Structure 1
Amino acid sequence: MSDYQHEVELERKSATAARLFDIRLIIGGLFTLYGVIVMIAGFTASDADLKKAQDININLWTGVGMLLLGLFFLAWIKLRPVVPPTAEEIAALQEDTD
């Protein structure tokens, strides 16, 4: 395999790793999951639970907020994906620091 093919393969793996370990994916996924769970708890709230919270279904509203925040993070990934630096950009940065 030539050096160029090796560089292309490394860039592809780097891009995949950058997308996979993007913190927005982790935050968005967790908030979406927990938002759905808390919303389900809000839908199944009893009258006694509502009475304790002054007739506000706090689980439902918190779940909706968490769900919206999680979906915002997931949409952010789609709208602004992570682009890892190319080999030329890395080489230019190394030259600047030397």
Structure 2
Amino acid sequence: MIFDVRLPIGLLFLCIGVLVAGAGFLGDPAVFAAHSAGLNIDVVWGLVMAGFGSLMLLLAALARRKTPPPTR
């Protein structure tokens, strides 16, 4: 069986993305207004990272489904 790197990469990005987005949602809005032109960068990049992680997990699941089991 070949090790598929998409699974751990997907889990890593999904977990870190959820943590970063959560920190952005819980952060003080006044800080974002003063430092990043009113854009909550933590939420944006957290969602981007979670989306990438979800895409990697989807691709890993599709590859696992497509690959036939080895015959002996």
| TM-score of the pair, normalised by structure 1 | 0.61
Judging by fraction of residues, say which structure has more helix. Answer: 1
Partner AA of 2:16 in structure 1: Y
Q: Which runs of at least 4 in structure 1 moved beyond 4 Å after TM superposition? A: none
| TM-score of the pair, normalised by structure 2 | 0.81
Structure with higher Rg: it is: 1
Alignment-derived partner of residue 95 in structure 1: none
Partner AA of 1:40 in structure 2: G
Question: Cα RMSD (Å) of the superposition?
Answer: 2.3
Structure 2 gaps of 5+ residues are: none
Alignment-derived partner of residue 30 in structure 2: 48
1:1-40 alignment, distance < 5 Å: 15=1, 18=2, 21-40=3-22
Greater mean alpha carbon deviation, residues 75-84 or residues 54-63 = 75-84
Taking CA–CA contacts closer than 8 Å with sequence separation of 6 or more, which of the two structures ends up with the larger relative contact order?
2
Structure 1 gaps of 5+ residues are: 1-14, 89-98
User: Equivalent pairs: percent with the same residue?
Assistant: 33
